[in-house]
Structure 1
């Protein structure tokens, strides 16, 4: 069994989202330690070297192919680039605070280059998932990792944030791909449950809610040609150019309908995935029964992130 596991990990490495995500987490930890105790011994001696090592790696490898977060496709991935950009921007600020202006400049320059590259994943109707595929799973590109990227890898700058146009457009396209694919979606009472969504439609393995806050801070949300299919789900009378302004009945009705739609997705998770507080890796598309790894950390972390976003405190 050990040999099988080792072969699997060798086949699905490198996986370059990890260093960027680790750096972002360590920066949060470092800032928290300094804020609470003011003692920078552990930060300076342990965390800072690790943060810079990870981000220096990102600078030198971001354009290289690697495996995606599902460990299935080798190429250049939207999700990986998004979390890399976040890590580098956090890292540039961290480097500046620690007097390393050379690294701060390098991280900022690379983050700007990544921003340009990330925009090339937009296909005019949805965000594609992988470019320069050299091996592994081939798929059309409708992958929920693009939405996960917005939730866990975006910053408060409007660039592929959960409430941004291209993420909303991608969300409605992905949902449409799954609406008739799984038996539990075809047979589900639509007024109670949202669409059960898998990783991507071709997946054969083992057999959302910060937008309102974003719109409120902006003062309004405008329907574009890109987001029209999304908003029509919640207001059939809407047209391109419609502006929902904060404080109006139209804005309140729209956001309420979007919230109800989001709650249906959480109800779907509760109905199929959550059993006595435990969540497995997946639930079956036909029966809805839990399957895969028991008590998977990712599943619980995703639910916690969704709950925090619904409460108005999304992950940093």
Structure 2
């Protein structure tokens, strides 16, 4: 290995350890208290909750998102495989399962009947509270689509874009992967069944996207649902639940057909949404599509990393961010990635989760396409070597880094950013292991 490669190796191993040390601050953060004076609300996290960010800043990410928490917990599975504090991570997983099951018992009617939450809010904050009719509807099979919850396990009564249907599918995938690794329980089985049932009922239905902005049929959501139903059907079949497996399989096949509709032959790319949705042209190359492919983890075939249509779409996105971000100017490799063209959220810059996912995409391709392995490993390493320049010496990861200066911006200590690096580095190790086999 070259000197530069050895340096990347040391840096990556050190950052994995740092990420592994940071994530516990967001899981079961029972020592923290969040005060929201404008709403007269105090939140004390419960065991098993996962904070999107434990940092106390102007941006309020002190919530348990189903999406974020599923991806974060999935990354801890990779730490267990590495033997990093394995027993503690297994305990945290079981706490997460029990907390998640508790969320499913939420009934918004109880909050409305008890009242008081509007009276405690300042007058200028009342406009941010959901109508009673909407809150009362959050019960039973509506709960998993409610996107995020207070970290104490109570309903989030703030106005937000709902429903979002990727969270239950991603949570099912995470728990199924834990089960594959021999880590499970009756409680985990119950959570899996509930999430798969929700995913089957809502498969392909329009909802809000991963960025919580637009209403459409989003590729990112659909591929997560497809992967969960595909894995779940096998899981149910192995347990002798033939009728449930058949139901999941039927919905899986419907989603397989739906995924084919995202290919735009005239433009030579996979569209991020159907029928287009708001800002369709600007977001045609939404990076959520590649995130979806990576999170779904399909090993081969249609909509896997090796699908030529996915590879072509990735190249289009790479060119877009190369031409859009000043930090990418003049570069042919080591491109930094964001969300979509024209993004205006905070700095509208590069995201750590996107950039790490782009590296992971290369490493997964290295495994899926062995005859081009070295090329793809080099491509992933170029991305990580470059993003290293925009990771503070502390190793602390925010949500974004500025597209011109590279300075960290947006939410501090984004737990998903730490999980994203752990996942990317594990994919790199898998690619290198196969290369050395």
TM-score range normalised by the length of the shorter chain: 0.7 to 0.9
- 1:195 is aligned, of 308, 315, 335, to 335
Residue 274 to residue 146, structure 1, CA distance change in 2 (3 Å): farther
1:154, 1:28 → 2: CA distance?
Answer: 11
**Correspondence for 1:55:** 196
- 1:83 is aligned, of 224, 241, 245, to 224
The answer to whether residue 349 in structure 2 is matched with residue 206 in structure 1 is no
CA offsets per residue over residues 261-293 of structure 1, 9 Å max, x none?
A: 221111222111354221110001111100011
The answer to whether residue 313 in structure 2 is matched with residue 170 in structure 1 is yes
**Correspondence for 1:233:** none
The two structures have a TM-score, normalised by structure 1, of 0.77
1:168, 1:301 → 2: CA distance?
Answer: 24
Residue 293 to residue 97, structure 1, CA distance change in 2 (3 Å): same
* DSSP-derived class of the 1:81 partner: helix
2:344, 2:165 → 1: CA distance?
Answer: 24
The answer to whether residue 383 in structure 2 is matched with residue 265 in structure 1 is yes
1:73, 1:129 → 2: CA distance?
Answer: 11
Number of residue pairs the alignment of both structures matches: 267
Instruction: Determine if contact 2:367/2:373 at 8 Å carries over to the other structure.
Output: no
**Correspondence for 1:109:** 250
CA offsets per residue over residues 233-270 of structure 1, 9 Å max, x none?
A: xxxxxxxxxxxxx4xxxxxxx54333322211112221
Q: Which moved more, 1:298-307 or 1:81-90?
A: 298-307
The two structures have a TM-score, normalised by structure 2, of 0.57
The answer to whether residue 302 in structure 2 is matched with residue 302 in structure 1 is no
1:116, 1:152 → 2: CA distance?
Answer: 20
1:9: how far off? Answer: 5.6
2:220, 2:197 → 1: CA distance?
Answer: 19
Instruction: Determine if contact 1:83/1:154 at 8 Å carries over to the other structure.
Output: no
Instruction: Determine if contact 2:162/2:208 at 8 Å carries over to the other structure.
Output: yes
Instruction: Determine if contact 1:281/1:295 at 8 Å carries over to the other structure.
Output: yes
Residue 185 to residue 157, structure 1, CA distance change in 2 (3 Å): closer
1:136: how far off? Answer: 7.7
Residue 5 to residue 43, structure 1, CA distance change in 2 (3 Å): farther
Q: Which moved more, 1:133-142 or 1:297-306?
A: 133-142
* Structure showing greater relative contact order (alpha-carbon pairs closer than 8 Å, 6 or more residues apart): 2
Instruction: Determine if contact 1:65/1:132 at 8 Å carries over to the other structure.
Output: no
RMSD: 2.5
**Correspondence for 2:411:** 293
Instruction: Determine if contact 1:121/1:128 at 8 Å carries over to the other structure.
Output: yes
Q: Which moved more, 1:282-291 or 1:52-61?
A: 52-61
